[in-house]
Structure 1
């Protein structure tokens, strides 16, 4: 399995080579190592040889280590590396075949991605987006959806509010609250929660006091 530690991306390659070509293959790997040293972020490589069981073929596992994923990709796509592979194919007849463990990328994302956003924070943003959406929809659709039977009214209203919050309001609020969603600071977490509660309070006051809104009509 690929080794993944913080601040390091390990590209793991499995290949096979004839046992009689081991020395030539080692020479190619050493040239690869020297060439990779000229690339930013290169931390080295480890090559492990194992007998495949038939005595004629070796299983080779190569761990190429870089500080960053992007640095590793620059090396893998570089003309210097491609030239070395072409020379190896011409000189020793070695056709470069490999299997990359996808876990290298999965573990990199897990180790270096931002921490998982707490669900309760997402729910607060959904609440902040949903409340005004429902209230405004009730206001503007009173003469249309309001004339429908309640079950059908709710079905259509829920569809509209889900689309509105899911595609517009929640993504917009997520950008506004980006730092709050990812912070581990108790102080800033409480500050963000406070702004949401204040916003909801102001919306409640607005919807409760504006005379033009249908639910505020008396008599």
Structure 2
């Protein structure tokens, strides 16, 4: 009898994947916990699995919600409380939100190898301004400090010494630090 019921009313699942900024990850996790509190009281809800993965570009969340049947899933998707909370969660996303829905006794989702899209790079003028902020003050300091070393050298060789040190400093330390400090400004449109 259980098998017949299963075939008559196949379970419904929805897999949602989203990426948020690292600094928003705990807020997103709290909102997902609130969503779970609503879910456990919902008639037709079966289970919720959430995977949180820290990545280089942000924190990824994979949420798999299972329902008794597709009709329960559709009722859940229509709830105003659910929609309001999902809007808040999805507003934190820095990439397209991926959703896959499936129904049946054996549910297979296409693998989500990576998030749907990479976050857009900062605007060109913001990247340029950040680069100038990283390079110009360091260049002035290096030219001044290295003058006793570079003065006796031919000018192209002296500039090479400055460029080597400047490139190393900006690549390894200055630009990564500025990118973290200016992150909100850089991603704002």
Instruction: State TM-score, norm by structure 1.
Output: 0.39
Higher relative contact order (CA 8 A, sep 6+): 2
Instruction: State TM-score, norm by structure 2.
Output: 0.45
The structure with the larger Rg is 1
Higher normalized helix content (fraction of residues): 1
